[in-house]
Amino acid sequence: MKKTIPHEDYKQCLLTREEERRKMNSIISHMHEIYTEEINKVALSTEDDKRMIQEDGISTLACGHYLLK
């Protein structure tokens, strides 16, 4: 992923709050049959279930932080 996501994409995702998707190839097995699958996954997102974004839209605090009540 480092090679396919430039720094500008990180900034755009943070400032516009739009998620970025990338295609990923995966090898899966179903009932002992092996398949390849192309998946469109979320590569960048402003949503994080372990951090709370502050009012400025950039700063975060960990869930359970004493300032979050």
User: Residue ranges of the chain with pLDDT lower than 50?
Assistant: none
69 in a domain, yes or no? no
2 in a domain, yes or no? no
57 in a domain, yes or no? yes
Please give the Cα distance from 37 to 2 (Å, whole number): 21
34 in a domain, yes or no? yes
Please give the Cα distance from 49 to 17 (Å, whole number): 15
Q: What is the pLDDT of residues 44-60, one digit of tens each?
A: 887 777 888 888 888 88
| H-state helical runs in 1-69 | 7-16
44 in a domain, yes or no? yes
Structural domain for 50, as ranges: 7-62
Q: What is the model's pTM?
A: 0.54
Nearest residue to 51 (alpha-carbon basis) of 29, 68, 30: 68
Please count the other Cβ atoms lying within 10 Å of the Cβ belonging to residue 6.
Answer: 10
68 in a domain, yes or no? no
52 in a domain, yes or no? yes
Give the total number of structural domains in the chain. Answer: 1
